[in-house]
Structures are given as C-alpha cells and as structure tokens.
C-alpha cells in the first residue's frame, strides 16, 4: 500500500455537492492499494499512519501522533498513487490492485484506524470523482509504502 499523509488544520472531500467527509486538525491520507497487497500491508500502513509523530509537543518538536493530539483522519482512496510514468507521458496503472479487492482494503483501513484509537475517521467515496480541499499545516507531507520502495 502507498499513502500520502498530510498534517492538516482542516480538510474535506466532496462528491458533487455532497460533503462525504471533513475533519479539523489531523491527517489527510491519500491511500492506494497495489497488486499483491494483503492485510499485512494494510496493518503496516495503518500502524504508521496513526503513530507518526508529526504533531508538535509543548517544546514545538514533532513528537506527537494524531492519537496523542486527538485529531481526525480523513482517508481518500487514490489508485493514482500507483501511476507509472517511467515510459511515455500517460500513466499506466497496472500496478494498482483491482477495484473489488482495493475497495475492501480501503474499507478495512477505516475500521483499522478507528480500532487503533482515532476517534474521528472520515472518508471519501471509493472510485468517485472527488474534490479534496485541505489546509496543509507546516506543510508536513509524508510518503509511506508498505513494500518500503521509498
């Protein structure tokens, strides 16, 4: 799995004119599943997301997690994280997990993040054309890959 994790002061996702998820302080997570991803990849990724120490402590150091600060997590499915542009100009998405299995892992991620102790977990809509708005706090943006490709 791949994730782009952004520390935000607020974020929201809309589909058409409907808000599907919104948070104040917390993390916006763009989450993509790759071919061959398993529940172990999901567990690794969720553990990293909820325990990343990227929020400031009393001394101003990045030393607190989203759980520590009582922040929310907004998760948006993002198969384009597996876009391969090494050849040509049009991304190839052959490394992305097929949609039915990817949706299951995406939905499982929401459950797992809640189970890890995040009290506000919001979501986009799988496979929808979404509009994502955010205020990146810092800015702080972290890339995660369960296969440790980067």
Verify whether residue 80 is a known catalytic residue.
Answer: yes
Of the candidates 6, 25, 45, 79, the residue annotated as catalytic is 79
Residues sharing a CB contact under 8 Å with residue 58, sequence separation 6 or more, in sequence order: none
Of the candidates 38, 80, 119, 141, the residue annotated as catalytic is 80
- 129: three-class secondary structure by DSSP: coil
DSSP annotation of 33:
-
Verify whether residue 20 is a known catalytic residue.
Answer: no
The string over 61-89, giving b where at least 16 C-beta atoms fall within 10 Å of a residue's C-beta and e elsewhere, is eeebbbbeeebbbbbbbbbebbeeeeeee
Of the candidates 6, 20, 45, 78, the residue annotated as catalytic is 78
* Catalytic sites, residue numbers: 78-80
């Amino acid at each position: 799995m791949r994730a782009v994790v952004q520390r935000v002061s607020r974020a929201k996702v809309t589909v058409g004119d409907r808000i599907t998820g919104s948070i104040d302080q917390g993390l916006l997570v763009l989450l993509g599943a790759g071919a061959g991803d398993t529940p172990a990849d999901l567990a690794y990724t969720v553990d990293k997301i909820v325990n990343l120490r990227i929020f400031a402590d009393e001394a101003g150091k990045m030393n607190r997690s989203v759980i520590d600060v009582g922040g929310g997590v907004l998760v948006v499915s993002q198969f384009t994280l597996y876009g391969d542009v090494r050849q040509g100009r049009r991304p190839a998405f052959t490394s992305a997990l097929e949609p039915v299995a990817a949706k299951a892992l995406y939905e499982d991620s929401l459950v797992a993040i809640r189970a890890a102790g995040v009290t506000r977990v919001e979501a986009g809509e799988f496979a929808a054309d979404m509009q994502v708005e955010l205020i990146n706090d810092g800015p702080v943006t972290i890339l995660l890959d369960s296969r440790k490709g980067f």
